[in-house]
Amino acid sequence: MDRNKVVKEVRDWIIALGVAIIAALLIRTFLFAPVLVDGQSMMPTLHDQNRMIVNKIGYIVGEPKRGDIVVFHATQDRDYIKRVIGLPGDTIEYKDDVLFINGKEVKEPYLDKYKSQIDEGTLTDNFSLEALHGMKKIPKGEYWLMGDNRRFSQDSRHLGPIKRDKILGKTSLVFWPLNEFRIAD
């Protein structure tokens, strides 16, 4: 084989590999990324060790909506997966396992199955935004996030409202394990 052809072939492979690596990094950084559910705070909606895809681009053109399942930076080296409950400007209160936003009852159908499995007590303890964090409303640019497994979730009740710039993106596609492949809502 001609030496020039070999050099050209190697160079072409290196360029193709470099383009593929750069494209993968750009996609993972700005568009989509895999995430691992670590713990049981989103049970029964999500299970420990589920693998999901985070859609990062959706919130570049829009804002989080009530009910979205999102990934956010909880600490410098740890991301959490929780559900958006309250939006900027909302008041939040729980009474007798019922969510009230701005004084109006809000249904949470994603909790119905879990509530029916509880032997005694409530899934979510009574609280108000003011009693927990001394604020009447969720501040502008911040969101109230909670896990579906309210008894065992480290969420806005403990962390306070989450700043918008800490939210990485929305997640709903469970891709692993394969027998649990689905859209979570």
Dihedral sign computed on CA atoms, order 44, 49, 83, 64 = negative
Closest CA to 147 of 136, 162, 133, 132: 162
Measured between alpha carbons, how far is 64 from 108 in angstroms, rounded to an integer?
Answer: 17
CA distance 56 to 143: 17
Nearest to 111 by CA among 35, 37, 185: 185
8 A C-beta contact, residue 84 and residue 145: yes
The residues that are catalytic are 41, 82
Strand 104-106's sheet: what is its strand order?
Answer: 104-106, 98-101, 92-95, 127-128
The 10 Å Cβ neighbour count of residue 73 is: 15
Q: Are 132 and 150 in contact (CB under 8 A)?
A: no
